[in-house]
């Protein structure tokens, strides 16, 4: 009798397990997206002695073409204290960047890893770096290339994700000035 009860219970549990729908993780949204990020930009040698780390903000818009590839445009700005020999002293300059980029990545449940890279332009707002020959008189525009990587965490609402990213930038016309940017961002996918 006890054996019959155990067999029936095992059969009922097995049938219930097969009949229950699988609880799939909610997939991340894919399509048009917008990102807003805050972070910091620091300069690498040789410009590191002439400019301090400064706050930065980024805006990105684009489209996921496939789950592993997206194309977009970006606009970024950062503000820096120039540490060139006096005079002048206490001068600030802004670095503005804009361009297009591509992102390759993969998703592992709620976490996505990616690499990104792109090309655009950079503009310096001041001639304060002319003194150390990073910029030259009348030249405040440069070609800018960047590459980086990051990770993204999908929130319960499948349209939102939080991310961390780091990118390296090179502006060839500014004495090959190099920077590293770290940013925390919020992404919304439509």
- Residue ranges per structural domain of the chain: 2-189
Residue 112's DSSP bridge partners are 107, 152
Per-residue pLDDT of the chain (190 residues; tens, 9 = 90+): 555 545 555 555 554 545 444 445 567 778 999 999 999 999 998 888 889 999 999 999 999 999 899 999 999 999 999 988 888 788 899 999 999 999 999 999 899 999 999 999 999 998 889 888 888 888 889 999 999 999 999 999 999 999 999 999 999 999 889 999 999 999 999 9
What per-residue confidence (pLDDT) applies to 26?
60
Q: Specify the DSSP class assigned to residue 109.
A: T
Listed as own residue / partner, the contacts of 133-136 with beta carbons closer than 8 Å and 24 or more positions apart are 133/175, 134/47, 134/50, 134/174, 134/175, 134/177, 135/174, 135/175
Beta bridge partners of 165: 150, 183
pLDDT value of residue 23: 46
Q: How many CB atoms lie within 10 A of CB 129?
A: 23
Q: What is the pLDDT of residue 116?
A: 98
Q: How many CB atoms lie within 10 A of CB 22?
A: 4
State residue 43's pLDDT score.
94
Between CA 166 and CA 181 the distance in angstroms is: 6
**Alpha-carbon span 95 to 117, nearest angstrom:** 19
* CATH number of the 2-189 domain: 2.40.160.20
- Residues 118 and 99: their CA atoms lie apart, in Å, by 7
């Amino acid at each position: 009798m006890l054996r019959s009860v155990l067999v029936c219970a095992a059969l009922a549990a097995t049938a219930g397990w097969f009949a229950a729908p699988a609880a799939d993780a909610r997939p991340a949204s894919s399509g048009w997206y917008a990102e807003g990020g805050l972070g910091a930009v620091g300069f690498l040698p040789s410009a590191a002695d002439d400019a301090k780390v400064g706050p930065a903000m980024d805006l990105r818009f684009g489209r996921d073409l496939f789950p592993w590839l997206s194309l977009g445009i970006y606009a970024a700005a950062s503000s820096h204290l120039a540490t060139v020999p006096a005079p002048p002293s206490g001068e600030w300059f802004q670095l503005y960047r804009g361009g297009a980029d591509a992102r390759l990545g993969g998703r592992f449940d709620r976490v996505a890893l990616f690499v990104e890279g792109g090309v655009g332009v950079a503009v310096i707002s001041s001639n304060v770096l002319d003194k150390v020959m990073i910029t030259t008189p009348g030249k405040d525009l440069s070609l800018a290339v960047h590459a980086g990587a990051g990770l993204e965490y999908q929130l319960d609402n499948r349209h939102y994700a939080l991310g961390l990213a780091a990118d390296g930038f090179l502006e060839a016309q500014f004495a090959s000035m190099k920077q590293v940017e770290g940013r925390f961002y919020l992404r919304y996918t439509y």
